[in-house]
């Protein structure tokens, strides 16, 4: 399904004068529910427009559905755009289609998630293990290095989930006073996380912190705490606008700027650079900054108003 009205013209449009060919790009995200992917679609569209290219955004109707994302890839093979930029929903299910796309000569770029046994032309990501360890350590220090924590894992089909969980668990294991009270999958979805956290709160009379593998699940944790008239420090990943508001309101203590908008923007720019005969890096790893009450003002903007990354420095 295509997404979103045309974005208003901004200073982005004046930044990149090299517009010799108007390439057609398709951007495929994992779902229509997680606001982080709204950011990705906006970032890709703004960057493509600034480079004089056309970009269409697509996403499965059913969140994170490999079969539906596969049908979108079949459309790519039929329509033959110059490039497809995708956050894959599964680590291997879509590989035959990715191989067909590569064979057809369409540029293939991944952002956020990678897959096994297929090498895209460009992959833009951040270090999921390190960022989870860093924000997990942040929360543990915040609560005084002791207490019982809950870990909410992401979607098991996503290649980002395991390293984030590993980062959380290893951070916790390095503190003798920390116990993991419960670990459940929230599938990177708000409602799933809310249900999981509600069940945990029924079983656990004292929860002293929550490590959520993305901000959208952290919103579900907040929903569960509010419904039970309880609270505890919560951290997430993505720095999405709603999480920034939650930090300012005292409902979350931190997030990490694992920024899908920046990743999609950088991938779009790198793809156009490749199409124009230049050679960007095949793997681009963006830094991931912890965002808390001390620095969240810089992130307290809707995606359409956030500054695009300085991709020329990165590629």
Task: For residue range 116-128, list pLDDT tens digits in order.
Answer: 999 999 999 999 9
Are residues 143 and 249 located together in one domain of the fold?
yes
Contacts of 252 (CB under 8 A, 6+ apart): 218, 222, 233, 234, 235, 236, 243, 246
Whether 102 and 149 share a structural domain? no
Q: Residue 6: what pLDDT?
A: 33
In terms of domains, do 106 and 150 share one? no
- CATH code: domain of residue 36: 3.40.50.2300
Residues 108 and 178 in one domain: no
Q: Are residues 62 and 119 in the same domain?
A: yes
User: What is the Rg, in whole angstroms, of the alpha carbon atoms belonging to the chain?
Assistant: 20
What number of other Cβ atoms are within 10 A of residue 233's Cβ?
21
What is the spatial distance between Cα 41 and Cα 26, in angstroms, rounded to a whole number? 10
Contacts for 170 with CB less than 8 Å, ≥ 6 apart: 133
The verdict on 156 and 66 lying in the same domain is no
pLDDT at 27: 98
User: Following CA atoms 88, 89, 91, 94 in sequence, which dihedral angle do they give, to the nearest 10 degrees?
Assistant: -70
The count of structural domains within the chain is 2
176 found inside a domain: yes
Residue 23 sits in the same domain as residue 45: yes
264 and 122, same domain (yes or no): yes
Which residue ranges of the chain lie beneath pLDDT 50?
A: 1-17
Q: Could you tell me if residue 21 is inside a domain?
A: yes
Q: Are residues 113 and 43 in the same domain?
A: yes
pLDDT value for 20: 67
Residue 225 lies in a domain: yes
Residues 15 and 119 reside in one and the same domain: yes
Rounded to two decimals, the pTM is 0.89
pLDDT given at position 219: 98
**Domain boundaries, position 43:** 11-126+260-287
- Is residue 122 located within the same domain as residue 135? no
Residue 298 in domain: no
* Residue 113 located in a structural domain: yes
What's the pLDDT score for residue 310? 86
pLDDT at 311: 77
Tell me, yes or no, whether 300 lies in a domain: no
My answer on whether 173 and 245 are in the same domain is: yes
């Amino acid at each position: 399904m295509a997404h979103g009205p045309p974005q208003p013209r901004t200073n982005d449009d004046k930044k990149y004068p090299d517009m010799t060919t108007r390439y057609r790009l398709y951007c495929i995200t994992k779902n229509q529910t997680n606001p982080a992917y709204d950011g990705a679609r906006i970032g890709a569209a703004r960057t493509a427009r600034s480079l004089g290219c056309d970009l269409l955004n697509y996403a499965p109707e059913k969140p994170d559905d490999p079969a539906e994302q596969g049908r979108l890839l079949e459309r790519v093979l039929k329509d033959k755009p110059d490039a497809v930029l995708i956050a894959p929903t599964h680590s291997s299910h879509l590989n035959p289609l990715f191989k067909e796309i590569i064979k057809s000569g369409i540029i293939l770029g991944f952002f956020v998630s990678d897959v096994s046994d297929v090498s895209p032309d460009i992959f833009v990501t951040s270090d999921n293990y390190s960022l989870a360890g860093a924000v997990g350590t942040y929360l543990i220090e915040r609560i005084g290095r002791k207490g019982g924590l809950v870990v909410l894992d992401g979607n098991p089909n996503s290649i980002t989930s395991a390293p984030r969980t590993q980062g959380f668990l290893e951070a916790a294991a390095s503190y003798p006073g920390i116990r993991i009270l419960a670990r459940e999958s929230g599938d990177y979805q708000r409602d799933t996380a809310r249900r999981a956290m509600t069940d945990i709160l029924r079983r656990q009379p004292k929860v002293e912190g929550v490590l959520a593998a993305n901000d959208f699940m952290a919103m579900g944790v907040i929903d569960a705490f509010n419904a039970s008239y309880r609270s505890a420090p919560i951290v997430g990943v993505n720095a999405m606008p709603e999480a920034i508001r939650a930090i300012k309101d005292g409902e979350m203590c931190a997030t990490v700027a694992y920024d899908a908008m920046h990743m999609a923007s950088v991938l779009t720019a790198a793809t156009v650079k490749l199409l124009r005969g230049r050679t960007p890096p095949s793997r681009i790893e963006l830094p991931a900054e912890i965002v808390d009450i001390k620095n969240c003002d810089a992130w307290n903007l809707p995606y359409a108003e956030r500054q695009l990354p300085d991709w020329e420095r990165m590629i």
